[in-house]
Amino acid sequence: MAGDAPGGTFTMADGLTLARLGFGAMQLAGPGVWGPPKDRDEAIAVVRTAVELGVNHIDTADFYGPHVTNELLREALAPYGELRDELYVVTKVGAVRDEQGGWPHARSPRQLREQVESNLRTLGVDVLDVVNLRVGGGADGHSPVPGSLAEPFGALAELRQRGLIRHLGVSVVNAEQVREAQSIAPVVTVQNWYNVAHRGDEPLIASLAEQDISYVPFWPLGGFTPIQSATLETVAKDVGASPQAVALAWLLRQSPNVLPIPGTSSVAHLRENVAAAALDLPADALAALDGIGSGS
């Protein structure tokens, strides 16, 4: 890759070392994560620019579009040849899209097998690097929902044994569900909602760090109150950066196993996000940001 790994690197498993700042591909699809992008050339350019800037961790799902994001990634990554072996695409299963654009669960063994096969086909690969089982959703669409994941995660473990998947992870889960998954097969990553204003997963992050398991936070600006947003904007203005960049810089300073995956459909915005990996947050800025999440 042309650039240094933004944010440094984290090794999830043997042969799986990722830049700590990744790229979430969800926004490459059309509005509502449905249909083709407004500007296909720009979407392709975003992916290729990310690679040129040192990003080798791309997060996707075949239900983005549906199929649209994976097919864009296949096209965008095709020219990289041997370098493709150093680019890791992490996908998710456990949901599909309905005709209204909803995200209903789809976690039976048959449904998961179909989703894995569809991801293989739309990405144009013979094996998936990492597959996350998306478990929760909740009223807000982003929170864990209690319940066993033995059957669906067991089904993915079988597909891993068959050689269709290299590594497994879980998404939108609680600590108990992580432990249950670990009792079935190795877990290399957990993907949940966590940011400067939403910090309920801090004990889980610490536990995963002790086990050398990555934690991938999504929605860096989600769930802020107006007061919290105002504080973030003030800090951003003081350090001469965007609120998104400040939020990402804060995430990267929380723990070495935290690997944010900000998404965008704009090359300019992508460059701002990657630059956040080098953003210096002075002590007073960090104190103000830490105050945002007090009691959360």
Cβ proximity of 61 and 26 under 8 Å: yes
Task: For 183-238, give the secondary structure using H, E and C.
Answer: CCCCCCEEEEECECCECCCHHHHHHHHHCCCEEEEECCCCCCCHHHHHHHHHHHHH
Q: Which two tokens stand for residue 89?
A: 């695409």
Which residue did the predictor score with more confidence, 84 or 48? 48
Average pLDDT over residues 266-272: 98
Looking at residue 81, its pLDDT comes to: 81
Q: Is it the case that residue 68 has pLDDT exceeding 90?
A: yes
Which residue did the predictor score with more confidence, 168 or 146? 168
Q: Is it the case that residue 2 has pLDDT exceeding 60?
A: no
Looking at residue 273, its pLDDT comes to: 97
Average pLDDT over residues 268-283: 97
Looking at residue 83, its pLDDT comes to: 80
Cβ proximity of 199 and 153 under 8 Å: no
Mean pLDDT score of the chain, rounded to an integer? Answer: 95
Cβ proximity of 78 and 87 under 8 Å: no
Question: Model confidence at 240, in pLDDT bands (50, 70, 90)?
Answer: very high
Q: Which residues are the active-site residues?
A: 64
Q: Which two tokens stand for residue 69?
A: 């994001």
Give the CA radius of gyration of the chain.
18
Q: Is it the case that residue 142 has pLDDT exceeding 90?
A: no
Task: For 168-186, give the secondary structure using H, E and C.
Answer: EEEECCCHHHHHHHHCCCC
Looking at residue 84, its pLDDT comes to: 81
Looking at residue 138, its pLDDT comes to: 66
Q: Each residue of 74-97: pLDDT tens digit?
A: 999 999 987 888 999 999 999 999
Q: Each residue of 174-203: pLDDT tens digit?
A: 999 999 999 999 999 999 999 999 999 999
> pTM here?
0.96
Burial class (CB in 10 A: 0-12, 13-18, 19+), 199: middle
Which residue did the predictor score with more confidence, 244 or 101? 244
Looking at residue 49, its pLDDT comes to: 98
Please report the DSSP string for the chain in residue order.
Answer: --S--TT-EEEEETTEEEESS-EE-GGGSSGGGBSS-S-HHHHHHHHHHHHHTT--EEE--TTTBTTHHHHHHHHHHGGGGGGGGG-EEEEEESB---TTS---B--SHHHHHHHHHHHHHHHT-SSEEEEEEE--BTTTSSB---S--HHHHHHHHHHHHTTSEEEEEEES--HHHHHHHHTTS---EEEEE-BTTB-TTHHHHHHHHHTT-EEEEE-TTTT--HHHHHHHHHHHHHHTS-HHHHHHHHHHTT-TTB----B-S-HHHHHHHHHGGG----HHHHHHHHHHTTT-
Looking at residue 114, its pLDDT comes to: 98
Report the share of the chain in percent with pLDDT over 70: 97
Q: Is it the case that residue 295 has pLDDT exceeding 80?
A: no
